[in-house]
């Protein structure tokens, strides 16, 4: 797993620490959840199967459109 370094201002860091304590999660768990939500919000699938499914949508739509024209 690649490691990246991030910086937070003090207020944000304290808020994250408090959230982690309240949810009984460590920073990594909070970060994983946040990035999963962010990727989902922007329709970026994480799993290979989901990526392949998404890549086929335009092909399927074109095939359906072509079939409807016939």
Asked if residues 58 and 68 have their Cβ atoms less than 8 Å apart, the reply is no
Q: How far apart are CA 65 and CA 40, in angstroms?
A: 27
**Averages of pLDDT over each 10 residues, the chain, 70 residues:** 90 96 95 91 78 77 79
Longest pairwise C-alpha distance within the chain: 63
Among 69, 1, 63, 59, CA closest to 35: 1
Q: Is the pTM of this model over 0.85?
A: no
pLDDT of residue 40: 86
pLDDT attached to residue 34? 94
């Amino acid at each position: 797993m690649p490691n990246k370094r991030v910086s937070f201002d003090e207020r944000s860091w304290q808020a994250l620490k408090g959230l982690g304590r309240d949810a009984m999660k460590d920073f990594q768990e909070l970060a994983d959840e946040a990035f999963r939500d962010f990727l989902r919000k922007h329709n970026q699938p994480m799993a290979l199967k989901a990526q392949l499914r998404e890549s086929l949508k335009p092909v399927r739509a074109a095939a359906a459109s072509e079939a409807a024209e016939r």
